[in-house]
Structure 1
Amino acid sequence: MAGGLFSIDKSYFEEIGTYDPGMDIWGGENLEMSFRIWQCGGSLEIITCSHVGHVFRKATPYSFPGGTGQVINKNNRRLAEVWMDDFKDFFYIISPGVVHVDYGDVSSRKALRHALQCKPFSWYLENIYPDSQIPRRYYSLGEIRNVETNQCVDNMGRKENEKVGFFNCHGMGGNQVFSYTADKEIRTDDLCLDVSRLNGPVVMLKCHHMKGNQMFEYDTERHTFLHIITRSCLTIGRLEDGSLGPTVEPCNNSPAQTWALHNLTRLDVYRRLYADRTTDRLA
């Protein structure tokens, strides 16, 4: 929903806690209001034929303390801490810049959630937004590092039906965040790694949840990904066009077929961000 463009009964608006007074200016209130209304027993309706006027200013009459990004990150951190439960860690891994922001005291908002007897965020994902890109059942979330090259699987910002890449591991989340799910998929957002033949390219296709070309079984002892349908292993090797990249080859337990799954946590990301800032100050 749009955080400033909606109609709501005044008494109900007050009952569910109005806006979060700890948020600044704008940004994040749209998601916070949506999560709160749905999780606390309400509902949202989009009336397709409704219209609302909006006058755009030529200049913003207020300043953003610390910059626009700082304000939005603070607001998003507040909504994540109050409403997203353990799924907030997924958000922090995808958006590590949010982690080091001072988000203030959210105890009163958590008390409001408790008083309203609101449902968990997992309920929201399962019932309101089942098409969300957040995987609800996963074994690993973070880097997938190749032991031989010491590089990480990277979506390179590419789109559906393009090859997945690999790049130097930077530990900052983003394009190198992959989830290995309980359905044995390797996911980046709503795309799954998919390969159809030996030495073929590993491409990113919409997750279809039908196993087949998208099913990989991770061996926790050998640290290999077995591609079930071809009975071959995920590796960094030569593709059919001669280029080097992720593919599948007969399993041989080589370092090129060995993958370390690193579960990034908020603490990992925070320490790295903090260390980077300390290094910059000392330089």
Structure 2
Amino acid sequence: MTYKKIPIPEIEAAKRKSQSDVFFTPVLFGGVFAIHADWWKKLKGFDPFLDIWSGEQFEMSFKTWMCGGEVIETPCSRVARVHRGSMNVPYSPRAAIERSMSNMPRVANVWMDEYKEFFFYRKPDRRFARLMTGIEQRFEIRQKLQCHSFDWFMKNINFNQPTYYPAVEPRSHAHGRARSQEHMMKCINRYDKKLMLSKCEGAPSISLTWRKEFIFDKDSQACLDVGSISKHDRKPIPTC
């Protein structure tokens, strides 16, 4: 449950005449959006037991689509958010992780049906997170509004995701050291976040993924790019 931007489906792209035209989107980008007040009340707003922030955009997106609404992205819109009073909640990476440890599993349990197992497969430590307070009320919303299943959501709204981010990633095509054809005793290595050729001994393993990306096995965010290797310059390693 990490927000990822993927290409607009062809059926949606064909309706647009310019880059400023609106389009349907499966999930909100963060918690800043505009919504009709009556619809907000009908959906019972955000889950009040989601702690501070983290996961609320998924809950609202799933709930909106599955219960009869639509989520539309407007590229040229401007929406402001003003905090009411003092938040008094200092941000820290550790605090963010702790909130997602309870918020994300709660959203998954309420809205994702059998698909929640894919989430817990990737995040097994979150299966037994603190969940139960008030959770019955969230299931009651689904029943009262006669909401669709999450399988319906994936097949009719978020059908484009598996092409780019499948629930279970296929195995890599190959992995190992990348040896130079010109200098057979040298392999691609990393030094200070830059690429270089050095002795193959100790060189990192690189995988050719199902996405046809060359990724360093010990750093899934660092990819090789055609333009990132030069005989003369040490180029920074691009982010995948």
Q: Report the AA paired with residue 37 of structure 2.
A: K
**Percent of matched pairs sharing the same residue:** 30
Q: Which structure shows the higher strand fraction?
A: 1
Alignment CA distance shift 1:34-1:164 (3 Å): farther
Q: Kindly report which structure 2 residues correspond to 1:123-162, keeping only aligned pairs within 5 A, or say none.
A: 123-133=152-162
Contact 1:154 1:164 (C-alpha < 8 Å) held by counterparts? no
Query: Offset of 1:100 from its aligned partner?
Result: 3.0
Specify the alignment match of 2:174 in structure 1. 163
Normalised to the residue count of structure 2, the TM-score between the two structures is: 0.54
Distance in 1 between the 2:64 and 2:154 partners? 14
Alignment CA distance shift 1:48-1:64 (3 Å): closer
Normalised to the residue count of structure 1, the TM-score between the two structures is: 0.46
**Deviation string, structure 1 residues 205-244 (Cα, Å, up to 9, x no partner):** 349xxxxxxxxxxxxxxxxxxxxxxxxxxxxxxxxxxxxx
Query: Offset of 1:3 from its aligned partner?
Result: 4.2
Matched residue of 2:130: which SS?
A: coil
Distance in 1 between the 2:144 and 2:211 partners? 40
Specify the alignment match of 2:47 in structure 1. 20
Match of 2:60 among 33, 47, 65: 33
Query: Offset of 1:63 from its aligned partner?
Result: 5.1
Alignment CA distance shift 1:82-1:204 (3 Å): same
Q: Kindly report which structure 2 residues correspond to 1:89-100, keeping only aligned pairs within 5 A, or say none.
A: 89-100=117-128
Distance in 1 between the 2:105 and 2:40 partners? 22
Alignment CA distance shift 1:97-1:63 (3 Å): farther
**Deviation string, structure 1 residues 62-83 (Cα, Å, up to 9, x no partner):** 1589832121121111110011
Q: Kindly report which structure 2 residues correspond to 1:1-283, keeping only aligned pairs within 5 A, or say none.
A: 1-53=28-80, 61-62=88-89, 67-105=95-133, 106-133=135-162, 163-164=174-175, 203-206=208-211
Distance in 2 between the 1:40 and 1:64 partners? 33
Distance in 1 between the 2:48 and 2:82 partners? 24
Query: Offset of 1:4 from its aligned partner?
Result: 2.7
* Number of aligned residue pairs: 150
Q: Give the root-mean-square deviation of aligned CA atoms.
A: 3.3
